[in-house]
Chains A and B, each alone.
Chain A
Amino acid sequence: MKNQNKNELNYDFIKSLVERPDLDPDMAFVNKLRKKITKVNINSSLLSRSLSKRLKIIGVVLMAISTLYVLFLSFENENPSLGTEKVEDTPISTIHHYDIDDLLSNHPSYNQMYKEILKETQSTKAAEMFVLYLEALKQGDIEEFKKYSIMDQDFKIKPLIDDYKQVDFETLAIENMIWSQAEPSIELQISYQRKNTTAEELRSLHVHINDGVNMDVYEQFDWRK
């Protein structure tokens, strides 16, 4: 039996290496590298997003110029019917306006959350942006939403907006604010009721305050639902 075992590949003796005392990395190193990865990744993601935004803006400007040119030509040719049709095609009606003062004075829930975030973060901009983030969700305005969220893919944003359509925004309230160890990120636990219900629900939003002033929101949401 002993001889037979000797012919087999027995490598159990190597396994004692698994028991070496310093096998796992230092937690300080693990956390530091995680922070670094998160930071580098967010920065590169923001950079690519800002580039794509710029391209979109250029596209919109070019479209506007060409529309105006067509309009101008139509007037030149004394053909007002063509001009009228083109005016109807312009996307002016889809532009939303977000006046933070109006939002805060007309919506007590926004106002309360604004005050609490301001108190916690000492950042007026961050508090305003959080309210605008919620308002963008309420209005279903994907482009506005992207200004404040890390999420930038439409197919993921749409289900989130659909979910928020059922939320009674006047019942929104901050239940808890937890600073992460990887400051400056803060987890906001908010409560709310869905329309026509009284049951309270909770959800968590992670707010990353980029430069001590501006912020991005990350909301974990299963868009596959």
Chain B
Amino acid sequence: MRSEPSLIEELYDEFHKDVYHFSLYFTNNKEEAEDITQETFIKVMKNLYQLKDMSKRKTWILSIARNTAVDLKRKQKLLNFFPQILLRNQQHSFQEESNDKRLMNKENWSNIQEVLLHLKPHYRTIVILRALKELSVKETAEILGCSEAKVSVDFHRAVNKLRKELHVQEGWDYLEESK
């Protein structure tokens, strides 16, 4: 048993980067990632009494982060009256940036991030947790509240979808061959 003030601070110190990374990969937007991180830890603080098993603290916090991120995106969808215009602008600037980078052949992370954003939230979450945050199938299943088998199957599908999208994009073959 530890007193709550130090526990919440310890949890924050231990996991704020994981939460921020997840949020940034999920949104590709610094401000939104900060909002999600802040809201996640406020929720953690309010619901700390629900954390019975300390060994599951990481998956518990990441599941809150995931729900917060999904909620934020859902709200944005409802509030966004001009989705096409905004999306076009966003895509335009992003495309410009990633094309430049691809042409310069310096880095391709922004290209993959762009494709990741187009995956549906469930697949996106699985890719982030499994491939980028290197969580186990079991941990990922805990966060998503589904079976381990479903995580494995959906992770395969998500990776294949990503690969397919990337192959469609100009320049990807060249990048893969040049590895």
Contacts and interface: CB of A to CB of B under 8 A. Distances in A.
Interface string A92-112: 000000000000000000000
B34 A17 contact: no
Contacts, number: 89
A20 interface: yes
A150 B132 contact: no
B159 A11 contact: yes
A19 B107 contact: yes
A19 B113 CA distance: 11
Interface stretch (A27-35, A71-79, A163-171, A173-181): A27-35
A14 B127 contact: yes
Contacts of A13: 112, 163, 166, 176
Contacts of A1: none
A33 B20 CA distance: 12
B30 interface: yes
Contacts of B132: 14-15, 17-18
Given A9-B156, A14-B162, A25-B20, A37 B127 contact: no
Contacts of B108: 16
B38 A33 contact: yes
A19 B109 contact: yes
A199 interface: no
Interface string B18-39: 0011001100001001100110
A29 B17 CA distance: 11
B4 A41 contact: yes
A24 B131 CA distance: 17
Contact of B17 (A25, A34, A36): A25
Contact of A40 (B25, B45, B155, B159): B45
Interface string B134-160: 000000000000000000000110010
A159 to B, nearest CB: 13
Given A18-B132, A24-B20, A9 B159 contact: yes
B109 A17 contact: yes
B16 interface: yes
Contacts of B112: 13-14, 16-17
Contacts of B63: none
Nearest to A224: B1
A20 B132 CA distance: 12
The 4 closest A-B pairs by CB, nearest first: A25-B20, A20-B109, A14-B131, A16-B109
Interface of A: 9, 11, 13-20, 22-25, 29-30, 33-34, 36-38, 40-42, 45, 150-153, 156, 218
30 contacts: A9-B156, A9-B159, A13-B163, A13-B166, A13-B176, A14-B116, A14-B127, A14-B132, A14-B159, A14-B162, A16-B107, A16-B112, A17-B25, A17-B132, A19-B107, A23-B21, A24-B20, A25-B37, A29-B37, A33-B16, A34-B12, A37-B12, A37-B45, A41-B4, A45-B4, A45-B5, A150-B5, A153-B3, A156-B3, A218-B6
